[in-house]
Amino acid sequence: MPADARAAASAELRRPREGRMVAGVAAGLARHLGISVTAARWGLAIAGLTGTGAVLYLWLWLTVPSADTAAPPPLVRLAPMLRDKNLRSPLLAAAGGLMLLALAAMVAATAAGAAVPWQWLIPLAALLGGLILAWSQLDRIDAGARRGPISWLRLIGAVALMVLGTALLISQGRGPSSLVAALLAGLAVLAAVALVGAPWWLRLINALGDQRAATAREAERADIAAHLHDSVLQTLALIRAQAADEASVRRLARAQERELRQWLYQDRVAPAVSLAAALKETAAEVEDAAGAEIGVVVVGDHPPMEAAAALIGATREGLLNAVRHGAPPVSLYAEIGPALAEVFIKDRGPGFDLAQVPGDRLGVRESIIGRIRRQGGQAEVVSKTGGGTEVRLRLALGVKERA
């Protein structure tokens, strides 16, 4: 059974945010029932003509939460808290449905009656309009979005309609003076309710802020968990699989350590804008290629200049030499000042005499010394018996001299 079909079969009833025409009711129904969206839309539209369909549509709009069908499985497993928990209470849903049904029945009765009671119809229409205006914002409130000016206009309009409707309902056509009195009374009650409810409302806003902060924390935790899963757990599995091969275990552990360090401390600057980052990356590449460990210390930084490529190339060659022919620990120290870059590569190998290296060997003579000297820098290889070998490179920054 394909995964898609299974997912569709178990899809919860939700109004999707993507691909909705009005409120996503038809699209959600179609996904839930496993029928085509067009069929659901036509079905609802035909039912809407009879009146019951409209009520059903409104009822579903109010009660079915708007959300994308499902979060991807890893996210669900890693951060269950992230899922939308505040499903509306069924009591509220039922009340909304009943209210709309009653409204529909009343409208039907008025239409059937001989005399049209305008003094009832107009306030009821105003009340209904206000209700629809207010409830149409439900999705936006849910999403936790900030209120825009339109949203405020809708809220004010809804309140005005409700107050007007209530006032008309109470005054019942007994003249403008009683209408004004009813309006004033309504406003006074509203103000009193607002004053009494203010602390509760403020607390609600605070709680909402807390909840958002918690969600952000959860998201961060999920991010970390996902990262650990992708990197560290994979590497651990690899290490276990290759436990017999010491060299590759060491390489895996070192590469993973470096990657995790970079991710944790975020001190990663693109090599394109930082000579220090470029040198660190070079050392990392040599580590990966040779499976040896290199202690890297870089002081200062500078944007890479034209001659940087030569410096990096020579550094790479020096490090490769050190890990191939020298002995650990291999260390790379780079000091990058405002005008001068110095690079030192040291190993603890037996050392060698540069004069005795055959002339056809390009490694040290050409790739390291020649490269730096052509850029107007200084390069030397110092080897002491028993004290290891050190490659020293000095290159002026900024000014480029051609030899």
Partner 1 sequence: MTAKLRVVLVDDHALFRAGSKAELGASFEIVGEAGSVEQAIAVIAQTQPDVVLLDVHLPGGGGAGGAEVASAFAGSAVKFLALSVSDAAADVVAVIRAGARGYVTKTITASELAAAVRRVAEGDAVFSPRLAGFVLDAFGAAGGNVAVADDELDSLTAREQEVMRLIARGYTYREVASELFISIKTVESHVSAVLRKLQLSNRAELTRWAARRNLL
C-alpha–C-alpha distance, residues 399 and 339, integer Å: 9
**Least distance (Å) between residue 47 CB and partner 1:** 60
Tell me: does residue 338 bind partner 1 (CB under 8 A). Answer: yes
Query: By C-beta, is 59 or 344 nearer to partner 1?
Result: 344
**Is residue 333 part of the contact set for partner 1 (CB under 8 A)?**
yes
- Does position 329 interact with partner 1 (CB under 8 A)? The reply is yes
Asked if 379 is part of the footprint of partner 1 (rule: CB under 8 A), the reply reads no
Residue 374: how many other CB atoms lie within 10 Å: 13
Nearest approach, Cβ of residue 82 and partner 1 (Å): 26
State the minimum distance, in angstroms, from the CB of residue 401 to partner 1: 21
Q: Does the footprint of partner 1 cover residue 59 (CB under 8 A)? A: no
Give, for 67, the enclosing helix (H) or strand (E).
none
Q: Which of 232, 335, 352, 363 is the binder for partner 1 (CB under 8 A)?
A: 335
Q: Does 141 bind partner 1 (CB under 8 A)?
A: no
Dihedral sign from CA coordinates of 285, 291, 292, 297: positive
Q: How far is the CB of 306 from partner 1 (least distance, A)?
A: 20
Q: Does 278 bind partner 1 (CB under 8 A)?
A: no
Site size toward partner 1, by CB under 8 A: 23
* 362: its two tokens: 């390009």
Q: Rank residues 134 and 340 by Cβ distance to partner 1 and give the closer one.
A: 340
Q: How many CB atoms neighbour CB 278 within 10 A?
A: 23
Q: Are 315 and 345 in contact (CB under 8 A)?
A: yes
Part of the chain binding partner 1 (CB under 8 A), chosen from 68-76, 101-109, 215-223, 323-331: 323-331
Q: CA 37, 42, 45, 51: dihedral to nearest 10 degrees?
A: -110
Q: Does the protein bind partner 1 through residue 224 (CB under 8 A)?
A: no
Per CB under 8 A, which region of 12-20, 201-209, 236-244, 264-272 contacts partner 1? Answer: 264-272
Q: Is residue 259 a contact residue for partner 1 (CB under 8 A)?
A: no
Given 176, 265, 360, 403, the residue binding partner 1 (CB under 8 A): 265
User: For the residues of 353-388, what is the DSSP string, one character each?
Assistant: -GGGS-TT--IIIIIIIIHHHHTT-EEEEEEETTTE
Under rule CB under 8 A, residue 331 binds partner 1? yes
Contacts with partner 1, 288-307, as mask; x by CB under 8 A: -----x-x-xxxx-------
CA distance 109 to 111: 5
Binder to partner 1 among 15, 251, 316, 346 (CB under 8 A)? 346
Minimum CB distance to partner 1, residue 258 (Å): 10
> CA triplet 35, 36, 38: central angle to 5 degrees?
135
For partner 1, the binding residue among 267, 306, 366, 380 (CB under 8 A) is 267
| 269 lies in the binding site for partner 1 (CB under 8 A) | yes
Using rule CB under 8 A, residue 387 touches partner 1: yes
Distance CA 331, CA 328 (A): 8
SS3 content of the chain, % helix, strand, coil (to 5): 65, 10, 25
Read off the tokens for 277. 């980052």
Contact region with partner 1 (CB under 8 A), list: 169-177, 258-266, 306-314, 367-375 = 258-266
Tokens of 169: 């309902």
Neighbouring residues of 193: CB distance < 8 A, sequence distance ≥ 6? none
For residue 80, state whether it binds partner 1 (rule: CB under 8 A).
no
How far apart are the C-alpha atoms of 43 and 34, rounded to whole Å?
A: 14
Q: Does 286 bind partner 1 (CB under 8 A)?
A: no
Angle between helices 275-290 and 308-325 (to 10 degrees): 30
Site residues, partner 1 (CB under 8 A):
261, 265-267, 269, 293, 295, 297-300, 329-331, 333, 335-338, 344, 346, 387, 390
